[in-house]
Structure 1
Amino acid sequence: MTDERNGKLETLVGQVKDKCKITWEDETTERVLKEELVPSACSIVRFKIGIPDDVGFDFTEPGIEHRILINYCFYAWHDAEDDFERNYAADIAHARRLWEVRNDARQQEGVA
């Protein structure tokens, strides 16, 4: 399954499971990861770093966006989103600046 805006959902779920050290398999865990945690995290991270809704972005690819997403999922899995905000504020600010430049370039090209 592919989420056109965020990359390959199955791959992201696997990466999140690795980060969170989820080694067991059960329907509830799979459902929570595939239908709630990962899609929600993608939306939250897109908002935090300024990736426009109309831009397809593959969070499975290495980069600061991937790092932020995977770590947000780790904190969310452990109900520690507030700690994430404090610990990753610098990374979020850096990624946001990168996306501001990209979005400005898109607007100047007339794409947006």
Structure 2
Amino acid sequence: MRTEDISTELLTDVKDKLYVSWSDNDEQIKKIILRASKYIQLKITQELSFTPDSEEYELMLERCRYDWNNALDEFEKNYSSEILALIQSYALKDWRDNNVESTN
């Protein structure tokens, strides 16, 4: 994903989370979104869609909030259970998908 690929809806959701109503920092916020999505992608090690109703989307929004407030050192500690639950959820989905394919 590149900054140009970030939808207006995603940018607006993140800005709402950050309580930002101006456009001066849009490029900086887009970079924060990229960092957050890459971080979560690396943790899960699967292709994620970041749809507004997904757990990874909510986690990405929170990661953006921590980045915006220069508190990334606290993010993983505060969200470790959510990160682990998401990893487990995707691992279980992957296991089920692979088992179904191997039994056919």
CA distance in 1, matches of 2:58, 2:94: 20
- CA offsets, 1:90-111, max 9 Å, x none? 100111100111222333437x
Percent of residue pairs bearing the same amino acid type? 24
Aligned to 1:46: 41
CA distance in 1, matches of 2:96, 2:6: 26
Shift of residue 63, structure 1, vs aligned partner: 2.7
Shift of residue 20, structure 1, vs aligned partner: 0.4
Structure 2 counterparts to residues 2-41 of structure 1, below 5 A: 9-26=7-24, 29-34=25-30, 36-41=31-36
The amino acid of 2:40's aligned partner reads V
> How many pairs were matched up?
99
**TM-score (normalised: structure 2):** 0.81
Q: Are 2:86 and 1:88 aligned?
A: no
Q: Kindly indicate which of the two structures has a greater share of residues assigned to helix.
A: 2
The amino acid of 1:45's aligned partner reads I
Instruction: Determine which structure has more spread, i.e. the larger CA radius of gyration.
Output: 2
**TM-score (normalised: structure 1):** 0.76
Aligned to 1:102: 93
For residue 72 of structure 1, the aligned residue among 56, 63, 67 is: 63
Shift of residue 15, structure 1, vs aligned partner: 0.7
**Structural RMSD (CA):** 2.2
CA distance in 2, matches of 1:8, 1:102: 27
**Greater RCO (CA < 8 Å, at least 6 residues apart):** 1
Which runs of 5 or more residues in structure 2 are unaligned? none
Q: Is the 8 A contact 1:37 1:76 kept in 2?
A: yes
